[in-house]
Amino acid sequence: MPNYITIDEFKKGEITIGEIKSAEMIEGSDKLLKLSVDLGEERPRTVVSGIRKYFEDPSALVGVKCAFATNLEPRPLMGIPSEAMILAVSNDETFSLLRVSDATTPGMRVK
Amino acid sequence: MPNYITIDEFKKGEITIGEIKSAEMIEGSDKLLKLSVDLGEERPRTVVSGIRKYFEDPSALVGVKCAFATNLEPRPLMGIPSEAMILAVSNDETFSLLRVSDATTPGMRVK
């Protein structure tokens, strides 16, 4: 039996397009990256994510437009408040972000 | 004030990678397309979506791997039960699906 939810419940989760402006390693962590993400707001948000192992060179993430969960309460990771969650799929063999066309604008909301 | 939700609430919405196997117009509708989508299950699901206007040639969708909401109760559109919702962003200027790498496998769950 699937755990059905209503469309209104689904839409309580805000999914927003962001453009990654910078991506850097965090001293003392071999798992986390610290991203600065333009989500179409006044200032970019800081996003701390456990995607270090998928990006030998974090600068490959700069300019990428992809989907973020944007209404989770900020939580600190390695002492850095993470203000959104990057959405991804992964298994032992592969990893992928949820990417959108370059023609999209940061702040666009998934519907 | 943002409408914060918990990570558990967010994860109630199942987001799954699907591969579009076929895409066809629906007689009598200039808005809808009928998709057959491999979501890593025994049989593909039928997805009816109002994305007709973005795809002059629906066959451009065949082979595309992208994100679907997969635990909404099926609902009929033009008499056809739609068994998932394709996720997308759009405004007056642009439209985009949430695409993933070709190396991903249908059925992978977004986390």
CATH code for the domain in which residue A50 is found:
2.40.50.140
pLDDT at residue number B29: 94
Closest CA to A51 of A69, A81, A78, A24: A24
Tell me if B106 is assigned to some domain: no
Tell me if A2 is assigned to some domain: no
Tell me if A5 is assigned to some domain: no
Closest CA to B12 of A58, A29, A26, A4: A4
pLDDT at residue number A80: 95
Q: What is the dihedral of CA A28, A30, A32, A33, to 10 degrees?
A: 90
Whether A48 and B52 have beta carbons less than 8 Å apart is answered as no
Tell me if A39 is assigned to some domain: yes
User: Within a 10 A sphere around the Cβ of A72, how many other Cβ atoms?
Assistant: 20
Tell me if A4 is assigned to some domain: no
Q: Which parts of chain B register pLDDT below 50? A: none
Tell me if B111 is assigned to some domain: no
Question: In chain B, which among 63-82 make CB contacts under 8 A with chain A?
Answer: 67, 69, 71-73
pLDDT at residue number B46: 98
Quote the domain boundaries for residue A40.
11-97
Q: Which parts of chain A register pLDDT below 50? A: none
Whether A51 and A33 have beta carbons less than 8 Å apart is answered as yes
Establish if B89 touches chain A: CB-CB under 8 angstroms.
yes
Structurally, chain B folds into a number of domains equal to 1
Q: Which residues of A touch B100 (CB under 8 A)?
A: 89, 96-99
User: Taking CA atoms, what residue in A is nearest to B92?
Assistant: A104
Whether A108 and B97 have beta carbons less than 8 Å apart is answered as no
Tell me if B45 is assigned to some domain: yes
A4, A61, A98, best to mutate vs chain B, most B CBs in 10 Å: A98
Tell me if A75 is assigned to some domain: yes
pLDDT digits (tens, 9 = 90+) for B41-71: 999 999 999 999 999 999 999 999 999 999 9
Q: What is the mean pLDDT of chain A?
A: 96
Among B5, B91, B110, the residue with its CB nearest the CB of A98 is B110
